Structure 1
Amino acid sequence: MKKFVQFRSIKAKLIAFSLLLLMIPLITLGYLSYQQSKSNLESVGKENLRNSVEMTIAMIEQFNQEVEAGNLSLAEAQEKVKIAILGEMDSEGKRPINKNIKLGDSGYIFVVDQKGNSIAHPNIEGNNVWDEQDDNGVKYMQEIIGKGNEGGGFASYSWPLPNSDQLEEKGVYAETDPYWGWVIGASTYLADFNKPAESILKLTVIVIGVAIIIGIFVIWQYASSMAKPINRVVQAMERFAEGDLTQESMSIRSKDEIGKLANAMNQMHAKLKDMIHNIAQASDLINTSSKELSQSANEVNMGAEQVAITMNELASGAEGQAHHSNELTSLMERFTADLRETNQHGEHIHQSSVEVLGLTNEGSQLMTSSNSQMSKIDGIVQNAVEKVKNLDAQAQEISKLVVVIKDIADQTNLLALNAAIEAARAGEHGKGFAVVADEVRKLAEQVAFSVNDITSIVTNIQQDFDVVTSSLEDGYQEVKEGTNQIKATSETFTTISNSINDVVDSVQLISSNLSKVTEDGQKMNSAIQEIAAVAEESAAGVEQTTATTEQTSSSMDVMAGKSAQLSTLALELKTLIAQFKL
């Protein structure tokens, strides 16, 4: 089915759906009120026709009593009745319509006998109208006389409006006078009775229009108040996705799901901002510590070189051995102090790395929770799509039932037409059956018209269901994209966590190496003291000190390499954090 309108925002959906809920009841109520008013007015009009005929018969009864009393002749009494219901005949043989008898703008009372001769009529008095037909071929006068002889009844036929060729339906109530044998009829155009209903229809249309305008304004305001906080949340999440965390927390007063969503986003924003800030500080601290460690290693290397020079001097001459031994002892004490300080820095770096790792794990848990929440929203939207599709299927079933009803109406219309043909063939005996067949045909036509209206309404409902389904599916795609973005962010946190683990391992290794170097420095210091105490073992002490110096230099080279590696890792971590704006 072709899509009529496609909505891409919650605001548009709320406005469209609310207007639909507002307009359908108002239009339905207005239409039903108009039809009810029209029906009531027609009933009142028909009752007025019947009362006019009964009043005329009562008047005939009174004049007939005067005739029987000998006060009036029959001709005089009949003329008085004609004058009372119409007026005096003019020179052209016509009578005016009595305006005192309210039967609509063009209504009047007329009299015919059993043979169809017009006894009292504004225009055709004295003519025989037994075989007169309307444009539909209905011999209306025969039907009117038949209703009158049955004790009174209503008949209708098509007749042109005064001074016009436009056909309108006329309603007639006829009843036979029991005194003179006249058939008294009161007729008027049904449209005259329905004129007040037209005023009601206009007033109803105006009221519905005003109500719709007011409803549009109220619905627009309500939809705007609903969509505004949602758009603010969407914009904030888009900025988060771009790494911008500089905005302030959102302030939404509502306590519904939208308010809860905004509060959850504010909490996530605060925790994420604090976590990134702590990671940035830890990264700067690691970078600073690695530089200090590298500087300490250089100083240790310089000390080792100095020790080597001292050992060479000891080897070249024993006379300066004591002096050089004291100098070497001083250097080794400084070296040991530097090692201890470096070891303390290493332990501090290790603790900072562990804290960074904890913050990273907390961020990963928050992203996992957000991913779970987006999955729930995904399920809710998908469920809504399925429900709307089920409603669309039920609307299609209604369309099938409407088609069946329309087929039944068409068949009923065809049967009514066949019955009318058979009644026409039956002649005089089939007149009553022809009337019934004509009524059945009209009823079938009304059913067909109603079925067409229902078909149009159901079609519009199906189109609206398609629009809602398409909008929900678009929303489902948006939720799915949001879920993928959160998953990507979670993977980024996992990468950061792995990098921090590597940093922790590296710092732990450096700390271990520094402990070993400290122990070696202490051994070296003991060896130098032995050299100073025992002069005769100076040669052996020089060799041992030289070996120890080489080992220290090698350890310092390793420590310098680890320090460079730690500095590189700190720069990489700082680059990752630079993607976020705090």
Structure 2
Amino acid sequence: MTIQRQLLLMTLLVLLGLGTVIAVSGLAVHRLTDKFDRYEHILSDDKDLIDIKATALSVSRVDPILPETQDAMDKANGRIKRLLTGLHTSMRDKAMLTKLAGIAEQWGKYSKGIYGAIKIASDAPQDALNIPDAMYQLYLAPMTTQLDAMVSHNSVAEVQARNNIVGNIDTLFWSIALPLLMVGILVIFFIAAFSRRLKRGLKDIISSSEALAQGDLGIRIPVRTRDEIGQISQAINHFVDGISTILAEVRDASEHTRESAVHLNDLFVQLSTNTQSQSDEVMHISAAIEEMNNSITDTANSAVSATETTEQTSSSVKTGLATGQGTRQALAKINDAVTAAVNALQELDTAAQSIGTVSQIISNTAEQTNLLALNAAIEAARAGAHGRGFSVVADEVRLLAQRTTKSTSNILSTIDLTNRLLEQAKEAMNLVRDETELGVTAGERIESALSDINDSMETVAGRMQQIAAATEEQDNATGEITKSIETVASLAHHTRDEIESTHQCVGVLVSAADSVQTALSRFSRLPASNGSSL
């Protein structure tokens, strides 16, 4: 029987024992639960009976005259009825139910008598005061006695229920303990037998493994059983057979590998020398190309710098051209403005002369008016008293004529000064107009020269850009050649490193072959390639 089947059988036995224990425990727990429920019902009934007694006694011999007696009776009556209803539902003993019905009847009569006393308290208070004592003796006292008897009966039932619970607990303990003990004994017996067989098989495996660890590949593990231990022993034996064959093949292969590795090592030494020479030649070419590339780069930088300078000069010329055009236009505007100012001054001179003519006429008129006023004053003096008023008017006219003459004289002086200033202004404006015309002519010549320079600079800039583009293309081509040569040099260097690494690996391979031969020498009774033992 295999170990797996043995363990499965042991597991089934354990599960069967545990199932039996669980079934028996379930039945015992069910019975114990019923006992606990019965015990709790008894305790609850005792509590309700005691509560009924306490509530009834709280309203015994009450004073029916007091107004709070009605409310106290209502509360007590409602509570006792609820408790009696609950007890009637929970009790199962018919004798107890009969006693409970009697208690309900006695309480009904007692509460009816108390309510009657309360009703007649206002009309016959003395009779009402005697009723509670009579009701207590007739109904309440027997009811409390009956309640005490029921509580005592329940106490006996409570003790019996408690003893039953204790007995069921003991039964539950032994119903669990005995099956578990039997299952444990069976498990221990199976484990002991299983361990003895397993220990014997493992001892054979350990002793054979120690011999194999010492390098004795001729040892084999005895196969005593058909279980997993026997299968492991047989598998190890097959494994050792395979390992012995493989090690023999490895030994032969390592010898051939060592011979090939030595030959390959010589080839890699020669290849490394050739690769080093090739790498040196490539480095010389790369240095020459790099020097040529630097020269082309300098030429390209110079061309770019010249192009930038030409562009800056062209930009400055364009700026000067725009400035010259603006200056010429400004001078033309100034010339137009000066011409307009000269014309305005001419018109102003003409107007000033007209004002002088008019002022002269006014001055002559004022002198004549002065003479007329003087004549009028003389005539008024001759008229005596009759011409006194006219004399005053004549004096005023004469004074007015004198002031007019004086003002006209001032106007003529001012006009004369204005004429002189206008002449000076016309001369200055004419001079400015002549200079402005010269400036406009010079600006036109400058604009024409700057336009020619700008055209020449644009042509030079185009040629320099072509030179720079051609130089840049040459620089890029040289850079690509340099990169290609660097790549070749890098590959040559990398190839040389790989050859050196491979050379080292070949050396390691030779050392590994020697190590394999040394390691294989530790194994004894290793089969040869033709099948004979060594």
Asked if TM exceeds 0.5, the reply is no
Which TM-score applies when normalising by structure 1? 0.26
Q: Which has the higher helix share?
A: 2
Which has more radius of gyration?
2
Which TM-score applies when normalising by structure 2? 0.28
